[in-house]
Structures are given as structure tokens and as C-alpha cells.
Amino acid sequence: MSSGDSRPPSDDSDTSDTAGSPGSRDTRDVPSTTLGSDTDEGLVTRFRTAQSGPLLFIREMLTSVLAVVAIGLLLFAISGVWPPMVAVESGSMEPHMEKGDLIFITEPGRFAPDSAYEDTGVVTYQAAQETDYRTFGSYGSVIIYDNPDSFGPPIIHRARFWVDEGENWYDEANPDYVGAENCQQLRYCPAPHAGFITKGDNNAEYDQANGIAPPVRAEWVQGIARIRIPYLGWVRLGFSGAAFASPADTASAGSGVEVTTTGGGGELVGSNVSASNTSAANATSGPSEANADPTNETLRADASVALASSGTAGAVSA
């Protein structure tokens, strides 16, 4: 442009001068660097606020799973055993535990009272009478124990009294619950080893009298029942199939325990045991023991626990 030309500079000259000047920056063709982060933030927002569609389904599923895991971990921290809950599946502990009840359990040493036998954490029926210690409508602890010599699952029954190895416990036992006239007629008398004599509240005989188990060693005790929640166990029983089983479908003659295995969860589901009811159960002083009706010819003998390989609750045939 000449010195005498008063025309304003053209746009082309401005653009070329600016583009060529040192330190200048042309941003016309520079791509945005925030596109990826904006996309991620948009996806997270849609996931959090979705009201329908697959994102809502996935969010609800994850929320439910996390809630179950959190509750399970909390219960495990309190109880010290897994699973921390079992579902009652039959009637040997009636009326104090009904089919479909959910039972919260703890390891034996937790919350053990002073009247517990030595360091087992278990209060026997006999000892509880002296201290008025009661759980589930009667004296003593309701324990879950596992006999390693049996193919059956664990059992949940009340601890009655302790015997030493070689002890003739017939005289110490309640004669109404032994179904025998002397020690020689009992399979586990004298006691083959030290342990607890146990019994279902609704059964006519001790477990050690009808052959369910020998005296229960302290190390066999897996947990102690603490809290009963009615009806919630039906959900667990529905998954295991026990909700639809009847005693007639699974009963076996004699005093053994028949066990069926279900697929998918690695669960062991115990059956009821059918045996002759040889004596009537008489009420004793103190809380009712809810023993079997003398006219009932079927002994509902086992209270087996099917502990699932996953989940927060097992299934209990009480």
C-alpha cells in the first residue's frame, strides 16, 4: 500500500499478517481435547439418572448386589461365622423354631455368658437351670454342630449336659428321653469321648439315644443360635427346594440321617428321620421344653443345616 492510499487494509492482508507474525497462534484447525472426558461424564450421568432401559436395570442390579454384600459382611463381622444365618426347614425344634424361620448365629465364643461350660461358649440345659439362662423358650444354648464321621450336614439342637469320656451318663439323663432301661442298651453309653448330650426340643429322645450323633465334641460346635426372625427363611428354602419337600418324601427308617445333594450351589439338604417313638415326653419344671406328643408315632429327629457355598443364609431342617 502506498503512503498516499487512504483505503483501509483488506481482510486478506490482516489474515496473512496475523498468520505470519511471530508468537501468533491459529486456532481454526485445532481439534477439541475435551471430547473424551465430556463423553465419559455424559455416560456416568446417564447411568446415574436413567429412569428406564438397560442402564436402569444394571444400576438396580449393582445396587442390590452391593447392599447384599455390605449386609453380609456386617453380619459376618458380628457373628464370626459364614453363613451367619440359617433357615429352619423342619420341626424338631418346635415351637421355639418353626419351619421358615431365619436364625442368626454366632461363633461359640462370642457373647458367651459366665455359665458356659469351660471355654466352649455353650451353656447346657442343666447349668442354665441354676443361673436362669434361657434361649428360645427354654434353658441352655441351641447349638449347630457337625459330626465329621457322618455324611449328613450339621445339626441344630439344644445342648442338654456334658459327659466325660467313658462316663455312664444313663443315670444323669432324663429317663423319658433315653428310650432304654440301662446304659448297655444305649449306643453311645458309656460315652466314647467327652462331649455334649443334645436333643431337639420337639423330639422324644436325645440325639445320642436315637443314634443321630455321638456326644458332641466341643470342636464340632460351629455356632450358637442367637436371634429368630419368623418367615424370612422361606426365601432361602425356596431356592434350596426344601420349601416344597414333605417329611414323607425324605424320611428314612431308623435313626440315621438321609441327605440329598442339590446342584447349582453345592448345597447339602438334610432330610427328616423317621423312627419309633418309644416313650412319651413329660413336662418338667421351668420353661416348657415342647417335647413330642405321646400319640405321635413319628420322631422328627434331625435338625440339619445345609450351608450354602454362597449367600448369607443356609437351610436348617430343625
**HEC profile of 15-72:** HHHHHHCCCCCCCCCCCCCCHHHHHHHHHHHHHHHCCCCHHHHHHHHHHHHHHHHHHH
Q: Decide if 258 is inside a domain.
A: yes
| Residues 147 and 227 reside in one and the same domain | yes
Are 161 and 312 in contact by the 8 Å Cβ rule? The answer is no
Give tens-digit pLDDT for 301-312.
Answer: 344 444 433 355
- 31 or 214, greater pLDDT: 214
pLDDT band of 268, cuts 50, 70, 90: very low
Last residue of a domain, one of 62, 79, 96: 79
- Looking at the fold, whether 40 and 138 belong to one and the same domain comes out as no
**Residues 126 and 46 occupy one common structural domain:** no
Q: Provide the Cα torsion 67, 221, 308, 59; round to 10°.
A: 10
Domain span including residue 134: 80-158+219-317
Q: Which of 259, 268, 269, 316 is nearest to 143 (CA)?
A: 316
In sequence order, what DSSP letters do the residues of 223-241 get, joined into one string?
EEEEEEESSTHHHHHHHHT
Q: What is the pTM of this model?
A: 0.63
Looking at residue 99, its pLDDT comes to: 85
Is 57 in the same domain as 144?
A: no
My answer on whether 140 and 229 are in the same domain is yes
My answer on whether 226 and 270 are in the same domain is yes
User: Is 19 domain-assigned?
Assistant: no
Q: What DSSP string runs through 74-98? A: HHHHHH-SSSSEEEE-SSTTTTTS-
Based on the domain organization, do 276 and 304 belong to the same domain?
yes
Q: 88 and 61, same structural domain?
A: no
The mean pLDDT value for 21-41 works out to 54
Residue-level pLDDT at 245: 61
Co-location of 242 and 283 in the same domain:
yes
Residue 115 forms part of a structural domain: yes
- What is the predicted pLDDT for the residue at 315? 56
Is residue 251 situated within a structural domain? yes
Domain count for the chain: 2
- 146 and 231 in a single domain? The answer is yes
Domain membership of residue 9 (yes or no) is no
- Asked if residue 199 is part of any domain, the answer here is no
Are 224 and 292 contained in the same domain? yes
In angstroms, the CA 38 to CA 29 distance is 20
